[in-house]
């Protein structure tokens, strides 16, 4: 599904204009991007967690010459799906309607080495 298809689907589902939905989707993506760029962890209950992991600097090899090449530290965005999302995908019925992520699920606030800021919805 593309962003455009997402906008059309949400607009039809909610009965609002595609322009309004497009603005909301774009703003949501920009907010997620800004949070990750700032090093924040963004948690959407029953959906998943967006966060930034740091890959340590290391020594690599040039495959053509075999020469050792330094690879610098790198920050990468990752997404960890939540329990409800995993369970829904596991059911794998493509004709079924997805559950609302607004439904309250189990409140698991066990931080696993969480040192960054949190944004939860």
| pLDDT tens digits for range 40-83 | 999 999 899 999 999 999 999 999 999 999 999 999 999 999 99
Domain contains 60: no
Strand (E) or helix (H) holding 119 = strand 118-120
* Span 98-119, pLDDT tens digits: 666 555 444 444 444 444 455 5
Whether this prediction's pTM lies above 0.85 is answered by no
Give the DSSP letter of residue 15.
T
Domain containing residue 21: 1-37
What's the domain count of the chain? Answer: 1
For strand 68-71 and strand 58-61, is the pairing parallel, antiparallel, or unpaired?
A: antiparallel
State the pLDDT confidence band at 19, using cuts at 50, 70 and 90: very high
């Amino acid at each position: 599904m593309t962003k455009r298809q997402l906008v059309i689907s949400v607009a039809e589902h909610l009965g609002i204009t595609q322009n309004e939905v497009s603005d909301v989707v774009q703003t949501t993506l920009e907010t997620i991007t800004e949070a990750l760029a700032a090093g924040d962890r963004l948690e959407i209950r029953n959906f998943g967690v967006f966060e930034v992991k740091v890959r340590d600097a290391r020594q690599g090899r040039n495959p053509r010459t075999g020469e050792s090449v330094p690879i610098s530290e790198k920050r990468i965005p990752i997404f960890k799906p939540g329990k409800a999302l995993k369970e829904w995908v596991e059911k794998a019925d493509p004709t079924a309607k997805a559950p609302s992520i607004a439904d309250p699920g189990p409140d698991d606030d066990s931080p696993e080495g969480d040192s960054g800021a949190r944004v939860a919805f």
